Amino acid sequence: MNLEKKHLLNYSILIPYLIMSVLGLIVVYSTTSASMIQYGLNPFRSVISQGAFWLVSLLAIAFIYKLRLDFLKNEKVLSIVIVAEMILLVIAKFFTKEVNGANGWIVLGPLSFQPAEYLKIIMVWMLALVFSKKQDDIAIYDYQALTKGQWFPKKITDWRVYATVLVILVAMQPDLGNASIIVLTAIIMFLVSGVGYRWFSAILSLIVGVSGLFIGLTAIVGVNNMAKVPLFGYVAKRFSAYFNPFKDLTDSGHQLANSYYAMSNGGWFGRGLGNSIEKLGYLPESTTDFVFSIVIEELGLIGAVFILALVFFLILRIMLVGIKAKDSFNAMLALGMGSMMLMQVFVNIGGISGVIPSTGVTFPFLSQGGNSLLVLSVAIAFVLNIDANEKRQDILAEAQLLMDTDQI
């Protein structure tokens, strides 16, 4: 049977993706046009740039969807990609200019990219390959199949060494937002890899305990003293705002306090699209990190809930592809991509609402940023490809069964 992939496309994933992408273009225009006019620039400048990245993303989806995913199981290809990513992270940290207190962007003429964004895809790819190859051993030896009975790796080629070095390089920039997303995604992938369920409660308790201890220590010692710790100076203000954003409205608490004002202004039904007050210079990063605060201000709680529901629907459909997949690598890859998006939403919403310290993470699809949109689109492409391959295998298996039955 010659089954074409175009007939196996999962529209329950593609359509929400397209809707979110179009909504993202509308939100980018709404949050940037006023400032563009203020500076005498084309009000469509930012949305044109975002639209260009979206067109590239659509081409990437079409290309990836037609690929055979077997090349992702090649360890040599993965090793080359990991080494290249390490080099790019080192270049971004030590050979680029600082932007908003961090060294994370590599600028090449009119183009710029953030290696940490692409690491999220690479990390999911690496863990999916590692965990999928050890499924039989995990069923027998539990977590020891992944660690070989050793809590600390003894070889530099151990996957844990690669993962640790990559995360440290991101944290050093410092980009604690993306580092947090990568770590949380890795933990979820570990928990769904087949290890005993008791590890879920153990790791969850550890995360809550360590986080609570660190926040409590920061509150006791004081943010100013903690700011003297290397690599912590940049995030010290974020912790100060987390404890009480209204204590210093002109500095550390300015961003989070105005985020609260924006959400309060929105009420149930919002002020109307384009009518935000806070985006007019009051709320910094209103086009990226805090874009969802502006969405709530303009569309209200009802509109924001609708968008969140659509995002969660997309994530659940992606997770469902992983749950249904019979190939262990396909399953781990799809679950990893879904987990990555889920953690990005959690960290962003947690930051703008004050549930967790702000980490500078963008909201999927809505925030201005071509790199983020491209990474999310690549993730969607891989999941669509996985789903089509799994459907094809199921159809061929059923067809073969019918043929065998007819012959009998």
Q: What is the pLDDT of residue 355?
A: 85
Query: pLDDT tens digits, residue range 78-103?
Result: 999 999 999 999 998 888 887 766 78
Give the whole-angstrom CA distance, residue 172 versus residue 176: 8
- Give the H/E segment covering residue 111: strand 111-113
Domain count across the chain: 2
Q: What is the pLDDT of residue 226?
A: 60
Average pLDDT over residues 247-267: 84
Residue 60 lies in a domain: yes
Q: Print the domain residue range for 113.
A: 67-221
Q: Are residues 59 and 89 in the same domain?
A: no
Dig out the tokens for 319 from the structure. 């997770």
Give the whole-angstrom CA distance, residue 13 versus residue 30: 26
Q: What is the pLDDT of residue 181?
A: 93
Residue 1 has pLDDT above 60, yes or no: no
Q: Are residues 180 and 80 in the same domain?
A: yes
Residue 241 lies in a domain: no
Answer with the residue of higher pLDDT: 65 or 173: 65
Q: What is the pLDDT of residue 215?
A: 72
Dig out the tokens for 147 from the structure. 């660690």
Question: Last residue of some domain: 198, 221, 244?
Answer: 221
Residue 54 lies in a domain: yes
Contact 150, 141 (CB under 8 A): no
Residue bearing tokens 């105005």: 258
Contact 339, 364 (CB under 8 A): no
Query: pLDDT tens digits, residue range 273-282?
Result: 888 999 988 8
Residue 59 lies in a domain: yes
Answer with the residue of higher pLDDT: 235 or 365: 365
Give the whole-angstrom CA distance, residue 82 versus residue 79: 5
Q: Are residues 52 and 150 in the same domain?
A: no
Q: Taking Cα atoms as reference points, which of 348, 342, 371, 370 lies closest to residue 360? A: 348
Q: What is the pLDDT of residue 397?
A: 81
Q: How confident is the model at residue 231 (pLDDT cuts 50, 70, 90)?
A: low
Q: How confident is the model at residue 245 (pLDDT cuts 50, 70, 90)?
A: confident
Q: Are residues 30 and 75 in the same domain?
A: no
Give the whole-angstrom CA distance, residue 273 versus residue 277: 11
Query: pLDDT tens digits, residue range 270-329?
Result: 999 888 999 988 888 888 889 999 999 999 999 999 999 999 999 999 999 999 999 999
Residue 228 has pLDDT above 80, yes or no: no
Q: How confident is the model at residue 253 (pLDDT cuts 50, 70, 90)?
A: confident
CA-CA distances (angstroms) from residue 72 to 38, 129, 325, 380? 47, 8, 16, 16
Dig out the tokens for 316 from the structure. 């659940």
Residue 305 lies in a domain: yes
Q: Are residues 357 and 322 in the same domain?
A: yes
Q: Are residues 187 and 104 in the same domain?
A: yes
301 contacts: CB under 8 Å, gap ≥ 6: 266, 267, 268
Question: Last residue of some domain: 221, 236, 261?
Answer: 221
Q: What is the pLDDT of residue 221?
A: 67
Q: What angle do CA 198, 203, 207 make, to 5 degrees?
A: 155
Question: Last residue of some domain: 221, 236, 268?
Answer: 221
Average pLDDT over residues 358-378: 90
Q: Are residues 372 and 297 in the same domain?
A: yes
Q: Do the strands 111-113 and 106-108 form a parallel or antiparallel pair, or are they unpaired?
A: antiparallel
Contact 30, 273 (CB under 8 A): yes
Q: What is the pLDDT of residue 251?
A: 72
Highest mean pLDDT pick, 228-232, 359-363, 399-403: 359-363
Give the whole-angstrom CA distance, residue 41 versus residue 34: 10
Of the listed ranges 54-58, 80-84, 140-144, 196-200, the one predicted with least confidence = 140-144
Give the whole-angstrom CA distance, residue 281 versus residue 35: 8
Q: Taking Cα atoms as reference points, which of 371, 363, 338 lies closest to residue 116? A: 371
DSSP code per residue over 263-307: HHHHTTT-S-TT--STTTTTSTTTTTTTHHHHHHHHHHHHHHHHH
| Whole-prediction pTM | 0.89
Residue 393 burial (CB < 10 Å; 0-12/13-18/19+)?
middle
Residue 262 — left, alpha, or beta (φ > 0 → left; ψ -120 to 50 → alpha)? alpha
Residue 237 lies in a domain: no
Q: How confident is the model at residue 366 (pLDDT cuts 50, 70, 90)?
A: very high
Average pLDDT over residues 30-55: 90
Q: Are residues 369 and 297 in the same domain?
A: yes
Q: Are residues 180 and 116 in the same domain?
A: yes
Q: What is the pLDDT of residue 21?
A: 95
Q: How confident is the model at residue 394 (pLDDT cuts 50, 70, 90)?
A: confident
Answer with the residue of higher pLDDT: 396 or 227: 396
Q: Specify the amino acid at residue 345.
A: V
Give the whole-angstrom CA distance, residue 199 versus residue 202: 5
Q: Are residues 292 and 405 in the same domain?
A: yes
Contact 181, 361 (CB under 8 A): yes
Residue 235 lies in a domain: no
Query: pLDDT tens digits, residue range 355-365?
Result: 888 777 899 99
Q: Are residues 101 and 38 in the same domain?
A: no
Task: Count CA within 13 A, CB hemisphere, residue 204.
Answer: 7
Alpha-carbon torsion (242, 246, 251, 254), positive or negative: positive
Residue 244 lies in a domain: no
Residue 196: DSSP 8-state = -
Q: What is the mean pLDDT of the chain?
A: 85
Dig out the tokens for 210 from the structure. 């360590």
Q: Taking Cα atoms as reference points, which of 283, 291, 299 lies closest to residue 348? A: 291
Q: Are residues 208 and 270 in the same domain?
A: no
How far from each other are the two terminal CA atoms of the chain, in whole angstroms? 21
